[in-house]
Each structure stands twice: as C-alpha cells, then as structure tokens.
Amino acid sequence: MDFGKISERGLVLLGCGKMGSALLQGWLAGGLSPDAVYVIDPNPSDWVLAQAVHVNQPLPENPAVVLVAVKPQMMGGALPQLQSYGGGNTLFVSVAAGTLIASYEAVLGAATPIVRTMPNTPAAVGRGITAICGNAHTTAAHLDTTQALMSAVGQVVRLDGEHQMDAVTAVSGSGPAYVFHLIEALAAAGHAQGLAPDLAMQLARATVCGAGELAYQASETAAQLRINVTSPGGTTAAALEVLMDAETGFPPLLRRAVQAAADRGRELGK
C-alpha cells in the first residue's frame, strides 16, 4: 500500500473505536509508519496505546488526511477542534453513518475536500465493503487516497454521488444484520423440525458462513450457485418454491426491508 503524502504529512484519526481500530490495524499491517498516525480518542484502548502511534498528543501542522470515525452523536463536539484544517489542503474522510457532506462543509468550509464513506461491520475481520463519494472539491487523487485507506478493511466501490448513499446503507451497511437474523431464523426452523437448539444454531451458522465464503470465492453468479445446488424435484427445490414466491417469499420481503432502511436513512439525513 502506497501511503505517499500521508507518511510525510501525517494522518489524524478522530475516534478509534471498533471501526477506527480496524482501519488502523490494516494501515499498520500495510506499511504505514506508526509515527505518521495521530489518534484523538478520549478513551483509547490498551491495543491502541501499544501501537506506538501518537495518542492525544500535539497534532501535525498540515496533515494529509483527517479521518473522522466518531459516532454521529459525538460529531458536534469533536469536529470543531479540527476546523483549522479546513479550506482545501487537508482531505477529510468520514466513516460516520448518516452524516451528510453538507454537515462537514458547514463546519470546515465549502472549499474543503470531503469524502463520505459507508463501510460495514465485516470490516472488523477485513471482509467489509465500503462505498465512497466526494464533494465538488475532491480530486481523483483524493478518491484514490480514500480507496487505499478503506481497502485496509475490505473492498471499495465508488458511487455516482451522495444521493446513492441511503441505498448503499440499506443494502450493505445494514445488510449484515439481515444475514445474522437469517442465521437466527434458520436455526429456529431447524429446532422446530426436532433438532436441539445448539445443534440447529451450529448447522445454521456454519451453513450461512460457508455459503458466503463460497459466493465470495466462486466465479459464478449467485443465481448460478443457487442452481448448482438445486436438483429438480428435490428438497432444495421444495424449499425454494416457498422462498422465491413472488408475493410472500424473499424477493418482496427484502424489497420492503431495504426500502424501509433507505427511507429511514433519508429521514435521519434531513
């Protein structure tokens, strides 16, 4: 990973909870010098303190990047302390859910390059996916830098604009919770068929995790993978007849769920 100007000018990480720590771990593993990182966090973990980064120490005069990883409700008190970096020379990258680019511009100035990102919780194990988009003052180089930083925790995709962020949040941001609930529901269904609860959960969890890994590694589409395990007239076909029902199955259910999440995101962004 080529950190370029970050190594020379430094990176300020505002907030080092689960997401911030996952990113920091990836950057350090990718070759970023701990001496180039400045962490601002009121309650840094023992792990962070052991990384030889600057923790709650004087900040660099002109950092290349400020990455904001605090919770949205903490933004009002945390961001103003970095207001002096606004204006164009420092790139601001946000991983705060639901915080609009306009909210940053109001504090930092409209001329500040700002990239909004939406990672998801599998970033904690290096298997996340992050969507990114920038304001009018971000350049191709700014987006490249952001992609390099967020690649530390998984895949990165670029959006056409911030208007797509609510849909991304509804699909990949909230999506892990849908999968976790699928595991719960599948285990409960197995228990209803006579399996012990612990065994049903072990089977459901391993099946969902294994299928996810197969989908990740396989070159076939998800549809083809489904076809591969479905024998005509067999048990899987019988189950899919229920799950793929146009009125009561997965497709309409997930459309409603994703729509509800996207609508709520738009409400929170107002």
pTM recorded for the entire structure: 0.92
Residue 97: partners with Cβ closer than 8 Å, 6 or more residues away: 72, 118, 169, 173
Average pLDDT over residues 234-251: 96
Predicted confidence at residue 270, as pLDDT, reads 73
Q: Is the pLDDT of residue 171 over 70?
A: yes
- Whether 170 is in a domain gets the answer no
Do both 16 and 143 map to the same domain?
A: yes
Residue 134 is part of a domain; what is its CATH number? 3.40.50.720
Do both 104 and 185 map to the same domain?
A: no
Q: Which residue has the higher pLDDT, 196 or 42?
A: 196
What is the C-alpha to C-alpha distance for residues 85 and 137, in angstroms, rounded to an integer? Answer: 15
Which parts are annotated binding residues for NADPH? 56
Q: Are strands 91-94 and 37-40 parallel, antiparallel or unpaired?
A: unpaired
Mean pLDDT of the chain: 94
Do both 188 and 161 map to the same domain?
A: no
**Domain-terminating residue out of 165, 183, 201:** 165
Predicted confidence at residue 186, as pLDDT, reads 98
**Domain-terminating residue out of 165, 194, 224:** 165
Which parts are annotated binding residues for NADP(+)? 14-19, 69-72
Asked if 151 and 136 touch (Cβ cutoff 8 Å), the reply is no
Do both 67 and 154 map to the same domain?
A: yes
Do both 39 and 92 map to the same domain?
A: yes
Do both 189 and 234 map to the same domain?
A: yes
Lowest mean pLDDT among 5-14, 71-80, 152-161, 243-252: 71-80
Predicted confidence at residue 1, as pLDDT, reads 64
Predicted confidence at residue 30, as pLDDT, reads 92
Do both 149 and 244 map to the same domain?
A: no
Do both 19 and 138 map to the same domain?
A: yes
Q: Is the pLDDT of residue 190 over 90?
A: yes
Lowest mean pLDDT among 6-20, 64-78, 136-150: 64-78
Asked if 119 and 153 touch (Cβ cutoff 8 Å), the reply is yes
What is the C-alpha to C-alpha distance for residues 222 and 187, in angstroms, rounded to an integer? Answer: 22
Q: Is the pLDDT of residue 160 over 80?
A: yes
Residue 207 is part of a domain; what is its CATH number? 1.10.3730.10
Q: Is the pLDDT of residue 73 over 80?
A: no
Q: Can you give the three-state secondary structure of the chain, one letter per residue? A: CCCCHHHHHCEEEECCCHHHHHHHHHHHHCCCCHHHEEEECCCCCHHHHCCCCEECCCCCCCCCEEEECCCHHHHHHHHHHHHHHCCCCCEEEECCCCCCHHHHHHHHCCCCCEEEEECCHHHHHCCEEEEEEECCCCCHHHHHHHHHHHHHHEEEEECCCHHHHHHHHHHHHCHHHHHHHHHHHHHHHHHHCCCCHHHHHHHHHHHHHHHHHHHHHCCCCHHHHHHHCCCCCCHHHHHHHHHCCCCCCHHHHHHHHHHHHHHHHHHHCC
Do both 92 and 201 map to the same domain?
A: no
Predicted confidence at residue 79, as pLDDT, reads 85
> Domain range holding 218?
175-268
Which parts are annotated binding residues? 14-19, 56, 69-72
- Whether 192 is in a domain gets the answer yes
| Domain count across the chain | 2
108, burial (CB in 10 Å: exposed 0-12, middle 13-18, buried 19+): buried
Do both 92 and 219 map to the same domain?
A: no
- Whether 75 is in a domain gets the answer yes
